[in-house]
Amino acid sequence: MADSTDPQPVRRVWSVPARAVLGLGAVVLLTGTGLFLGAVFLHVAPSNSLSREYRDEVDGVVYPEFEQNWKLFAPNPLQQNVSLDARVRTVVADGATRTHDWTGLTARDIDAIRHNPAPSHADQNLLRRAWDFYEGSHSSQDDSLTNPRGKLAEQYLKRIALQRIGRTVDGERILAIEFRVTTATVPPPGWSGESPPPAPKVRELPWWPVNDEDYRGLG
């Protein structure tokens, strides 16, 4: 008569090196997560001796990708439409330079959003937040730095544009990039009786040089 007893399941046994690697990986992940959460906590917490001492390190972790603000809880509707354009200067075969036409970066995002039932968060907010970051760290009069994060804001804005434009235009290497920002006040509804908004304001930033380091890590 056949034995009807079910065979016992085979229990997997991890080797000592495998357990060591898994344990080390868990420690690294927990440590990294703890450090990140600690940096975010110091960023949003009231100013204290620890946050002041490690301000540069905390800002390096938080800005610009993980900036914290409270508009989620107290939303302030946008009252202006901001359009960002960029143009580049390239070097041609004989060593001379050529300035290209403006490229509508915001217009591209709007085209990607319109009629899209699930638009990308990057198309909706990446460029706008990058400009907010720049505007909050530079003077509107002469584009001089107003806080220590200004250089980071410049690099962030430049790299977003270069990621979209590429390393070359018409086969010519990019030497410099310039931005143009057009700010138009959202018109009031017709029934409000308010005065029409002023004409849009156009602001051109200085030319910024472009080198290989600006493309580091870009896909």
pLDDT digits (tens, 9 = 90+) for 163-193: 999 999 999 999 999 999 999 998 888 887 8
- Residues in CB range of 155: below 8 A, 6 or more apart: 214
89 pLDDT tier (thresholds 50, 70, 90): very high
**For the residues 139-144, what does the mean pLDDT come to?**
91
Amino acid sitting at position 158:
K
Q: What is the pLDDT of residue 190?
A: 80
Q: What is the pLDDT of residue 73?
A: 59
Between residues 5 and 108, the one the model is more confident about: 108
Residues above pLDDT 90, as percent of the chain: 53
